[in-house]
Amino acid sequence: MTADKQKEFDGGSIWIVIAAFNEAAVIGPIISDIVRRNYRVAIIDDGSQDATGQIALAAGATVVTHPVNLGQGAALQTGIKFALQRDASYIVTFDADGQHRPSDIPRLINALADSKAAYALGSRFLGSSHGMPFGRRLLLQAAIWFTRAVTGLRLSDTHNGLRAMTREGASRISLRQNRMAHASELLEQIAASGLPYVEVPVTIDYTRYSLAKGQGLADSVTILFDLSVQKLHR
Amino acid sequence: MIAQIGFSILLANVMVYAWTEYRRAPVIAILALLAATAGLYFVWLPTHATRLAALVGIGRGVDLIIYIWVVISLILLLNLHLKLRSQAELITILMREIAVGHARTAEPSK
């Protein structure tokens, strides 16, 4: 990162938005690592039954709490709204399950600053992934083809929760899909916005914990249903 | 004749309902209107229903009308699902406002 950029990035204008539901087991060290890097963290506690909110608060995050569980898409939209209200210049979405690396955040921000794109989308297929099961790889490939067909975006990775956006880019996002279909909806909105985007290589570390929290084949059927049904009403 | 009038009143209600839903869910409204129109047509021209039913392998015209009624029911069920989703979206917006308004930040330790 150059001195100029560092100067611009200091001062808390970068908000890391993390949607969390019952992540007490892992959330503390993740937030501490990000806060140590001088980023501001907004945890959207999505109606957790455990101590996610308290742990996040103690680790240095700002905690925005949904009274009940609404889903990851709803939580991310809440985080984006909150960060925009706090005058964020850049917003980064980051998973709570520990599969993303905080060291990838500056790479995403730099990509936005260097390319003047509105969105920097993390790609595990341009970067690397550790411990990805074969079934998950197949599912992701199917998602990539689906996204290309629906949005026209030629991306190498479509369901990666690690992404960054400028203030202008974030203000064009308005997620209505509360649950897992939000990732596809977000790409549809990026395509519809006409704003430029870049892909950035990132690393994904699959753990038993993150795989248990991740999506399966049944979820992909639900996602397809949710996306189709949304087209039927305003 | 009594059955025809009864069916017609029901289908007319479906058409009115579809019309009121047009702004919110146009696809559903059009499907319901088409199905109800087809239903009305076959209720008053049962011989056409019988002919079409035989053509598509259903058997009797009355069965075709029952099938159309089932289709209308499913469309209305889908519309109910969409209404529930709209309600869920409103609840989400409300909760978001509450959540953002009550954000908590730890006091600096230094």
Q: Report the run of H or E that residue A85 belongs to, with start and end.
A: helix A72-85
Q: Does residue A174 or residue B109 have the better pLDDT? A: A174
pLDDT in tens, A70-128: 999 999 999 999 999 999 999 999 999 999 999 999 999 999 999 999 999 999 999 99
Question: What pLDDT score does A4 carry?
Answer: 47
> Which of the four pLDDT bands, split at 50, 70 and 90, describes residue A3?
very low
Taking the model in full, what pTM does it have? 0.81
Q: Chain B: nearest CA to A220, how far in angstroms?
A: 19
Q: Does residue A170 or residue B46 have the better pLDDT? A: A170
Beta-carbon-side half-sphere exposure of residue B97 (alpha carbons within 13 Å): 5
Of A57, A85, A176, which is closest to B89 when you measure between CB atoms? A176
Question: What pLDDT score does A26 carry?
Answer: 95
Residue A119 burial (CB count, 10 A): 26
* Long-range pairs, B97-101, Cβ under 8 A, ≥24: B98/A67, B99/A44, B99/A64, B99/A65, B99/A66, B99/A67, B99/A78, B100/A64, B100/A78, B100/A81, B100/A82, B100/A85
Which of B22, B30, B94, B95 has the highest number of chain A CBs within 10 A, making it the mutation to test binding with A? B95
Give the domain ranges of chain B: 2-77
Q: What is the DSSP string of A11-77?
A: TT-EEEEEEESS-TTTHHHHHHHHHHTT-EEEEEEES-SSSHHHHHHHHT-EEEEESS---HHHHHH
pLDDT in tens, A51-68: 999 999 999 999 999 999
> Which of the four pLDDT bands, split at 50, 70 and 90, describes residue A150?
confident
pLDDT in tens, A17-58: 999 999 999 999 999 999 999 999 999 999 999 999 999 999
In the numeric block, which tokens belong to residue A218?
A: 């049944």
* Residues contacting residue A87 through CB under 8 Å, at least 6 positions apart: A13
B87 beta partners: none
Q: Does residue B107 or residue A124 have the better pLDDT? A: A124
Alpha helix positions (H), A128-216: 134-151, 167-171, 182-193, 208-213
- Set of chain A residues whose Cβ sits within 8 Å of the Cβ of B82: 229, 232-233
Ordered structural domains, chain A, with CATH: 3-230 (3.90.550.10)
Provide mean pLDDT across the span B16-23. Answer: 83
How far apart, in whole angstroms, are the C-alpha atoms of residue B61 and residue B52? 7
CB contact under 8 A, A58 and B106: yes
Q: Chain A: nearest CA to B100, how far in angstroms?
A: 6
> Which of the four pLDDT bands, split at 50, 70 and 90, describes residue A217?
low
Closest C-alpha among A144, A189, A139 to residue A165: A189
